[in-house]
């Protein structure tokens, strides 16, 4: 009688790569860039919003009027911007982004005269090319920045400190005289901003319908000379 062989146990095979426990990775799908048609529509809305907010402020501007000026319905506008607050924030974000771009350039220069001239020119250019955006920002600040104060503190504050350190470096190197550099920046901002906020008054007093490129060039020369004189820099 032949012995019955017991079935052998299946040998444990090494775990396949797919069977091994691997840490779960949450790879979020990359957000798709907005379509050109959407960007174009947003820009149209933002242009009209900038104009209305500059004229009427946040409280006086209405989504109905902004939508009508953009050629869409209020409901369609809310598809792109979910509230008046969101639209207002976006307008101010765009203004601040362009304004801060000029501030960042100042700290990378070793030539105070050239850097300040370039900075003042850029600020005046913004006032000339984007007067509505500049006026929106001014209205918000004059009101005490109730809706945008935190963004100003968080984004402008650090850059202002960087610029002041640049002035301090120039002073230590003997390139400029010492003044209160923080207030110097405030004065530069104010006087260049005035050419957007008070453009109508300046043009009226000059007897013309609007300021010309030549007027802005003359303003630049005066402002640059004032600032360089205060810092005891050699005038060009």
Domain that holds residue 123: 92-230
* Residue 160 scores a pLDDT above 80: yes
Average pLDDT of the chain, as a whole number: 87
Read off the tokens for 128: 């000339």
pLDDT over 90, % of the chain:
76
What's the number of CA atoms in the CB half-sphere (13 Å) around residue 55?
10
Whether residue 30 lies inside any domain: the answer is no
* Residue 195 scores a pLDDT above 80: yes
DSSP state of 211: -
Which residues make Cβ contacts (< 8 Å) with residue 121, sequence separation at least 6?
Answer: 220
* Residue 1 scores a pLDDT above 60: no
The count of structural domains within the chain is: 1
Measured CA angle at 14 (ends 10, 19), to 5 deg: 110
Distance CA 143, CA 103 (A): 24
Alpha helix positions (H), the chain = 36-60, 63-70, 74-80, 84-106, 112-129, 131-142, 149-172, 181-197, 199-205, 213-230
Place of tokens 């209305």: 52
Whether residue 127 lies inside any domain: the answer is yes
DSSP state of 29: P
Read off the tokens for 214: 């030549």
Q: What is the pTM of this model?
A: 0.80
Q: What is the CATH number of the domain that holds 103?
A: 1.10.357.10
**Which pLDDT band, with edges at 50, 70 and 90, does 27 fall under?**
low
Whether residue 6 lies inside any domain: the answer is no
Quick one: 203 exposed, middle or buried, by C-beta within 10 A (0-12, 13-18, 19+)? middle
- Average of pLDDT values for 106-124? 90
**Which pLDDT band, with edges at 50, 70 and 90, does 3 fall under?**
very low
Distance CA 107, CA 162 (A): 7
Distance CA 7, CA 171 (A): 92
Give Rg (Cα) of the chain. 29
* pLDDT, tens only, 29-68: 566 777 887 889 999 999 999 999 999 999 999 999 999 9
* Per-residue pLDDT at 231: 96
* Per-residue pLDDT at 14: 45
Q: Which of 136, 45, 153 is nearest to 95 (CA)?
A: 136
* Per-residue pLDDT at 164: 95
| Furthest CA-CA distance within the chain | 127
Which residues make Cβ contacts (< 8 Å) with residue 215, sequence separation at least 6?
Answer: 202, 206
* Per-residue pLDDT at 194: 97
Read off the tokens for 3: 């012995």
């Amino acid at each position: 009688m032949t012995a019955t062989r017991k079935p052998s146990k299946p040998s444990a095979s090494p775990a396949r790569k797919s069977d091994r426990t691997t840490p779960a990775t949450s790879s979020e799908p990359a957000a798709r860039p907005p379509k050109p048609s959407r960007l174009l529509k947003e820009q149209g809305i933002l242009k009209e919003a900038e104009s209305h907010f500059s004229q009427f402020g946040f409280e006086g501007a209405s989504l109905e009027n902004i939508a009508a000026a953009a050629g869409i319905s209020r409901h369609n506008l809310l598809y792109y911007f979910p509230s008046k607050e969101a639209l207002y924030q976006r307008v101010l974000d765009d203004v601040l982004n362009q304004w801060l771009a000029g501030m960042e350039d100042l700290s990378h220069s070793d030539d105070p005269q050239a850097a300040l001239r370039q900075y003042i020119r850029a600020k005046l250019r913004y006032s000339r090319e984007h007067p509505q955006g500049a006026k929106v920002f001014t209205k918000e600040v004059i009101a005490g920045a109730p809706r945008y104060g935190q963004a100003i503190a968080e984004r402008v504050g650090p850059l202002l400190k960087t610029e002041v350190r640049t002035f301090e470096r120039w002073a230590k190197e003997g390139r400029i005289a010492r003044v209160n550099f923080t207030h110097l920046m405030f004065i530069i901002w104010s006087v260049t901003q005035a050419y957007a906020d008070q453009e109508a008054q300046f043009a009226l007093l000059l007897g013309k319908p609007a300021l010309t490129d030549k007027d802005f060039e003359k303003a630049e020369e005066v402002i640059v000379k004032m600032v360089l004189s205060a810092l005891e820099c050699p005038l060009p």
